[in-house]
A and B are shown apart, each in its own frame.
Chain A
Amino acid sequence: MFGSLLKGLQTTWRYMFRQPVTVQYPDVKRPVRERFKGRHELKRFANGMERCIGCSLCAAACPADAILVVPAANDPQDPVSPGERYAATYEINMLRCIFCGYCEDACPTNAIVLEHQYELSFYDRRSSIYTKDMLLVPQDKGHGEVPPILEQLGRQPSPPARIDL
């Protein structure tokens, strides 16, 4: 009986001197894989213009019907995005999203990217809808830099579809 007790404790002692596999979330956050598909971001061009042109192809590709795009015409004097069209409303329902990344595939301008942010919890359904303000990166960020994983592999990201805007 005593022997079995010691046998059990042996495992305990052994693990006492090892690195723990758990992390102290939320104080410590485990890094995700480079290709992890987390929360979406709407990127910008280097000149600060929105990449999204409001074409709704992401919404069309979305298997969960989580994306809503309402397009509008750009003001030629003060365009939001290159070309004639931009997304006046861009919303993603994070409760519906299954993070498949089809929107990313469909996007002709590489505007929508599933990034590494995974902390997506809400107190009510309404706040699960991420609006364009929340998804859009700040003016000076997200100009389509090469992701580190591709840099490691020495590869370039696939270029956006060639479109004449």
Chain B
Amino acid sequence: MTDVTLKIDGVQLIVPAGANIVDAARTVGIEIPIFCYHPRMKPVGMCRMCLVEVWVPKLDPATRQPTFDSEGKPVMSFFMNKLQTACTAVVGESMEVRTQTERVKEAQRGVLEFLLTSHPLDCPVCDKGGECPLQNLTMAWGPSISRFDYSDKAHFKKPIPLGDLIYLDRERCILCGRCVRFEDEIADDQVLGFDYRGRNWQIISKSDPPFDSKLSGNTTDICPVGALTTADFRFRARVWEVSSKPSLCLHCSTGCNVTLDMRHNQLKRVMPRENAAVNDIWICDKGRFGQRFIESPERLMQPLIRRGERLEPATWDEALSLVGENLTAIQRKHKDALAGLAGERLSNEDLYLFQRLFREVLGSNNIDHRSGAPGEPHADDLGALMGVGVGTNLMELGANTAVLAFGVDPEEEAPLYLVRLRGIAQRGGKLITVNPRSTKLDRSATQKLRYTPGSEHHVARALVHAIFAEAGMDRIRMRVSDEDKFRAALKGASIVADAAAAGLSEEAVREAARSFVEAENGIIIYGAEALAAGSSLIHDLGRIAVLAGKVGRANNGLITLLPWGNSRGALDMGVRPHHKPGYITADQRGLGAREIWNAVAEKQMRGMYVMGIDPVYENPASREALSNLDFLVVQDLFLTETAQMADVVLPSAAFAERDGTYTNAERRVQRARQARLPVGESLPDWMIVQRVAQACLAVIAPEMEMAANSGKGKARFAKAADAKATTFESGWGYVVVSEVADEIADSVPGYSGITHTKLAATGTGGIWGRQTNESFYYDGTSYTNFEGVGIQYPALVEQQRMTFSLAAREAKAPATDQKRSFVLIAERLLYDGDPLLRDSLLIKRVPTAYACLSAADAERLGIRTGDRVLVESSVGALELPARVKAHVPTGSVVVPANLPDAPLAAVQTGPQTSVSVRKV
């Protein structure tokens, strides 16, 4: 775009054409006060606070050329003979803006005086007090007295709940409409609106349940007054009293940057921390309100040891020596009889040490990061190997970008991706959703491909071939193999047939392929439903990206939405049976989670170490298996169902109680800081793993010494022979967590150089923050990022270290069964039965279980909403209340995953299960 030269208060500046005056003035540090304008939303000019004088060159009516006075200066005229709102006024060539004239100041004083005529003086009570733009702008720009009769002030009943999370104080509201516009433009939830007139004009919620948005908390941040406050932070503290600790939200794989606002070791509120490449300045309600579990009274305070039937408190020394003795005893007596599971919300350091403990000390590759429930999809490597390139910033992408969203529901899986993908479409990019059922993202999409459930592979194959038809082999930018097989497969394939099998038209597939190939940047984002279809589908998505040349550079590649905050880190750190850290194939393959359960059931497995994961909850079948174990150690925040069966329970510190690094869906490694003291005697997970390792070595090392003396010592333990030097020489003498991070940086491919020091020095994440002369955007509500924005490590494909096979992988045909004609879709919900939502306000939003059917199926089976239906598979059955929904595709039944009253593990035979449905 061309640039425009203009003057603001005598300062000459050059800004891109199309910028508004507020933004232009800000670039040279000139403050224009605003209430309603927000740089992330379209200007509306509602509050009138940004009034300025705009002078433009006077044109000669005959020639349309500027006129000049006798001194040769252009003659300026006062534009429209009125003050203009600077947020809606676009800069123009040779324009002169005056922000400090008496006319402007009088208008601003007038606006503030008017605003205050119906704004109560209850700042001492108001939660916004201290970070309130109205307070600050009144101090800086307002009149010191009011001519308005105090008794004529408008008063309303004090706060009314706008939803169960947000309160509205109508008399405080200045009707800037930021909240309404945020919900409409950014969150795509048309749930707020204006109602009534005149002095009764007010914000209302139009939805049922009220204020039904997963991003509602953000409206309280951008509210320039205390009209919208959260129920979570209501009167918990004054904002100047809290100390903000940089942290991360681990509830999904977005890795949103948050600050934990602490006072007296208590969490007062969670606020977004700006990071342009991750969450910008927003967070979802789960991240904002769902962190109360760290202060739950149910947290484990001290180690527990089983004595008879009961778990009794013990000291760390007792517990650890018991763990060390038992684990080493099992290792000595039985071959390959130890297994470990570690959760996906643990930090990279915890997970790295966990796999070291198993691989190096206990000599076992039987580790996994998941629970082994039947509904779990395969582990996804491609999202890291061919992930989006370093420097990717979805917030900057727009025109020239095509996004293929395949089998993903970002609203439920990772709400911030909804905001970011919608943003790309709003800025002119192409957003193609490929889904069996409609999601909220469809509303923002430029093209929708709705395929019949179970036909993912046909869609993907059709897309692969359509992309090949568009681009041929010319766009491939990486080493590929099996080209001949690929060409051979092409001969028998037809886009028409594949598209038809998926219920799509050929033209739609070709159009999607064309958009994707022609765009300069292409991103494929896929989630739970794509992962459920199996690795061959993901491989097909990889083929699409490779053929279209959309890999190996910034803003191009794959993004996988994995379930939890450090799912990617768990894969990177090699907490899996066949890969060591950095996706290096292990010498010997161990057992994965599902195989572990089989081995436990057959009494092959004798001891288990379960850290930060609750397999009994996720996979009830494992309960029975666990009773076969000789020894079970569980390390967790709570006495989970698995922990109740343990021999030793070790209390760990929550993410807010320790430092650590976490890797998000786009391979960005970010650091969370300690915000409070660990509760009770709990310790950080990495420290516990280290102590367990030391306890094991304390048993092993003396034996090794004896063995070494008799000439039979294994090389692995040779250097650990000296019992005194054991811990340090064997590398189990970390003092602080950053030493573990340093070791990861040294030894894990990809993570090289990502130390805590480096992470802290990665910038402030953007332009907001509370800084001098920038206060007028967001005064108060601080988004300041002191902790850095994290480091995105290069994907393997960027390092040119990868060869990709173009041959299709054999797709496991979905088992079709006359009797079981429905496909069971396990729908991931944001507010599900996640035990970490405990103690939060979101519990009220967790639905009771249901089975959704399409209208056609429901009619055929004579089912109406509210009837009870039996969902039956080859392994089990589940009775659920039915719901008939328009968005459900015919031939499928949608049941929410991970709800305590719908234990899907009992029915599922795999990520995709065929079931029968009947009314009971």
Interface residues of A (CB under 8 A from B): 53-57, 59-60, 70-73, 83-85, 108-109, 161-165
Contacts and interface: CB of A to CB of B under 8 A. Distances in A.
Interface string B240-257: 110000000000000000
B686 to A, nearest CB: 34
Nearest to A106: B124
Contacts of A83: 122, 125
B125 A60 contact: no
B237 interface: yes
A71 B236 contact: yes
A79 to B, nearest CB: 11
B121 interface: yes
Contact of A164 (B153, B235, B236): B153
Contact of B121 (A56, A70, A71, A163): A163
B269 to A, nearest CB: 13
Nearest to B263: A70
Nearest to A56: B238
Interface residues of B, number: 20
A18 B283 CA distance: 79
A162 B124 contact: no
A162 B121 contact: yes
21 contacts: A55-B124, A55-B125, A56-B237, A60-B238, A60-B240, A70-B237, A71-B235, A71-B236, A71-B238, A72-B235, A73-B235, A84-B158, A84-B159, A85-B125, A162-B150, A163-B121, A163-B124, A164-B121, A164-B122, A164-B153, A165-B125
Nearest to A164: B120
B155 interface: yes
A83 B236 CA distance: 15
Interface in B135-164: 150, 153, 155, 158-159
A53 B125 contact: yes
Contact of A53 (B124, B150, B155, B237): B124
A53 to B, nearest CB: 6
A53 B129 CA distance: 14
Contact of A54 (B121, B122, B159, B235): B235
B157 to A, nearest CB: 10
A164 to B, nearest CB: 4
Q: What is the interface of chain A mostly: helix, strand, loop, or mixed? A: loop
Contacts of A60: 238, 240-241
B206 interface: no
Contacts of B238: 55-56, 60, 71
A163 B122 contact: yes
Interface in B534-581: none
Give the interface centre of B125, B234, B236, B238 by most chain A CB atoms within 10 Å. Answer: B125
B886 to A, nearest CB: 41
Interface string B435-464: 000000000000000000000000000000
Contacts of A73: 234-235
B425 to A, nearest CB: 41
B828 to A, nearest CB: 35
A163 B172 CA distance: 13
Contacts of B241: 56, 59-60
B210 to A, nearest CB: 20
Contacts of B155: 164
B566 to A, nearest CB: 34
Nearest to B266: A70
Nearest to A86: B235
Contacts of B234: 73
A22 B151 CA distance: 55
B160 to A, nearest CB: 12
B115 to A, nearest CB: 15
Contacts of A55: 124-125, 129, 238
A73 B240 CA distance: 18
Nearest to B231: A73
A56 B125 CA distance: 9
A164 B237 CA distance: 20
Contacts of A108: 124
Nearest to B124: A55
Contacts of B159: 84
Contacts of B122: 83, 163-165
A108 B120 CA distance: 14
B77 to A, nearest CB: 45
A73 B158 CA distance: 13
Contacts of A162: 121, 150
A66 B123 CA distance: 23
Nearest to B241: A56
A84 B235 contact: yes
A71 B237 contact: yes
Nearest to A81: B125
Give the interface centre of B122, B123, B129 by most chain A CB atoms within 10 Å. Answer: B122
Contacts of B123: 163
Contacts of B124: 53, 55, 57, 85, 108-109, 163
A75 B122 CA distance: 18
Contacts of A59: 241
Contacts of A72: 235
Nearest to A60: B240
A60 B238 CA distance: 10
Contacts of B153: 164
A53 B237 CA distance: 13
Contacts of B171: 164
A55 B241 CA distance: 11
Contacts of B235: 54, 71-73, 84-85
B538 to A, nearest CB: 49
